[in-house]
């Protein structure tokens, strides 16, 4: 078959796989399967602490070492821990925080480490290492951002209502935003690549357009439970 000819199987696989950012959707499947086990761990705070320590050492530390010295993977074969186990700690942390909370001193330490991590990600090399999702730097700054927004208390009923509306449509926004970005790049593609104004405009357009599209899709009976 010539390369220019239509490949049905390849096309179907590309549609199912979707853009590369959709890896997160496939990540949810094994995490949902392991949820009953994690719920048992969540029953005891001490068990959660042991789990987080084991996860940090076995995933964050190991992946950081292998990011610096990838040749070690040929010796210890630890790079096959996989995305599933790598993100399991983040998954459990949200439930842990919702049930047990966190004292002010611990939050302060995480905020400091988060700010330091952001500075290192911005100004240090190698960029690939500091931007890796399973390194201490990304872990601390992502948890810091989570704690920061969780600590914001809004008195405005309208804003709270808008945020609640957004929270119910996050899956649809996540699934549609890539196509909204592709649409705006075809309509408006300035000569200056990835300038701050362009990134901000793309972000606003993608969020608003995805939100509106998700609202419309939720009006369709057989789609409203999906998005």
Q: Spell out the long-range contacts of 203-208 with Cβ–Cβ below 8 A and sequence spacing 24 or more.
A: 205/180, 205/181, 206/177, 206/180, 206/181, 207/173, 207/177
The stretch 64-79 carries a mean pLDDT of: 56
Per-residue confidence (pLDDT) for residue 195, from 0 to 100: 62
On the 0-12 / 13-18 / 19+ scale of CB atoms within 10 A, 136 is middle
Query: CA 96, CA 134: separation in Å to the nearest integer?
Result: 19
Confidence of residue 169 (pLDDT cuts 50, 70, 90): confident
DSSP, res 169:
T
Which of the pair, 83 or 189, is modelled with greater confidence? Answer: 189
Tell me how far CA of residue 71 lies from CA of 54, 78, 135, 201, in angstroms: 24, 11, 18, 41
What are the helix (H) ranges across the chain? 8-17, 23-42, 45-55, 62-68, 73-76, 82-100, 104-123, 127-130, 136-150, 157-167, 170-187, 196-217
pTM attached to this predicted model: 0.68
Residue 176 has pLDDT above 50, yes or no: yes
Per mean pLDDT, which range of 126-135, 174-183, 208-217 is the poorest? 126-135
| Tens of pLDDT, residues 101-125 | 899 899 999 999 989 888 877 776 5
179-194 pLDDT, tens per residue?
888 777 777 765 555 5
Dump pLDDT digits (tens) for 5-17.
445 565 555 555 5
CA distance 206 to 188: 13
């Amino acid at each position: 078959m010539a390369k220019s000819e239509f490949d049905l199987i390849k096309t179907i696989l590309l549609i199912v796989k979707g853009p590369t950012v959709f890896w997160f959707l496939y990540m949810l499947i094994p995490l949902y399967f392991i949820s009953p086990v994690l719920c048992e761990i969540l029953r005891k705070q001490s068990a959660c602490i042991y789990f987080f320590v084991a996860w940090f050492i076995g995933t964050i530390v190991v992946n950081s070492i292998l990011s610096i010295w990838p040749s070690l993977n040929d010796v210890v074969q630890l790079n096959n821990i996989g995305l599933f186990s790598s993100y399991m700690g983040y998954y459990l942390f949200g439930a842990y925080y919702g049930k047990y909370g966190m004292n002010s001193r611990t939050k302060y330490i995480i905020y400091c480490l988060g700010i330091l991590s952001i500075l290192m990600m911005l100004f240090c090399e190698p960029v690939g290492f500091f931007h890796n999702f399973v390194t201490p730097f990304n872990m601390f700054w992502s948890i810091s951002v989570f704690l920061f927004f969780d600590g914001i208390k809004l008195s405005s009923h309208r804003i709270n209502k808008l945020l609640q509306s957004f929270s119910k449509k996050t899956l649809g926004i996540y699934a549609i935003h890539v196509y909204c970005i592709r649409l705006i790049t075809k309509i408006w593609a300035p000569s200056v690549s990835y300038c701050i104004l362009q990134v901000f405009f793309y972000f606003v357009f993608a969020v608003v357009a995805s939100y509106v599209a998700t609202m419309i899709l939720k009006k369709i009976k057989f789609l409203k439970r999906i998005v």
